[in-house]
Amino acid sequence: MIDLHSHILPNIDDGAADESETLALLRLAAADGIRQMVATPHINPGYFDNNKLTINTALASARALIHQHQIPLQLAAAAEVRLTEQLIPAIEQQQMPFLGLWQSQRVLLLELPHSHVPAGTDKLLKWLGRQQIIAMIAHPERNRDIQTNPALLQSLKNAGCLFQLTASSLLGDLGDRHQQCAEFLVRQRIYQVMATDCHNLQRRPPKLRLARQTLAQLTDDDYAEALVCGHPAQITATLDFGGEL
Ligand SMILES: [Fe+2]
């Protein structure tokens, strides 16, 4: 399996606190059957001021752990980018890392606020489209407005967005509301990717294998396989798992 969304790099956001936690998460991910992983630290100005330099530096230390401890897993990096007014200038200055390509468009892992879908999101998505960028919306099932009114996703879908399901939402580890919304959206087959969004050992460890089984029970095996293998492989085909951002 390929995990497209993780906070596994040490001491760079609210994910792994240090190298020992990174190492433990890498071991868990490999034992869970994850063979390729994309580290996607938060970029959220004023909260997580990451950039290509900070991410590449942390990526190098995580790769050194993989090499030193012979963990059977390849690691690349991109970012989970918060929707803020700084996003457009950062893209214009080529500061934003991408997950890869989907139908020749660059894929940006985009995080909405957890409370609502901001006004003007549709305009931003159209602007991204003109730059040949497609947004993959991170875990829409965790957004309170979408939980209340899942039809809000339709306008994002119409704008061409991709959607990423978080495995722990589907497993119920993040609470009933997240799970119910995830199950509803899974039955609509709205998602293209399922990923761990792993942060730490206690609350959000990487658990993709069990979530894949649950996903297959709710839909079918082909859909589950596409979300953890086929589509992630397609998106990351151009990503260099040995190189930098
Ligand atoms: Fe995340």
13 CA to middle of ligand 1, Å?
10
6, two tokens: 């993780």
233 CA to middle of ligand 1, Å?
19
72 CA to middle of ligand 1, Å?
23
Q: 11 and 199 in contact (C-beta within 8 Å)?
A: no
Q: What sections of 3-149 are H helices per DSSP? A: 19-31, 52-68, 87-92, 121-130, 144-148
| Confidence (pTM) | 0.97
| pLDDT tens column, 135-165 | 999 999 999 999 999 988 998 999 899 999 9
C-alpha span between 239 and 1 (Å, rounded): 16
Q: 37 and 75 in contact (C-beta within 8 Å)?
A: yes
Helix (H) or strand (E) holding 235: helix 231-235
80 CA to middle of ligand 1, Å?
6
| Domains within the chain, CATH numbers bracketed | 2-238 (3.20.20.140)
| pLDDT tens column, 158-188 | 989 999 999 999 999 999 999 999 999 999 9
42 CA to middle of ligand 1, Å?
7
6 CA to middle of ligand 1, Å?
6
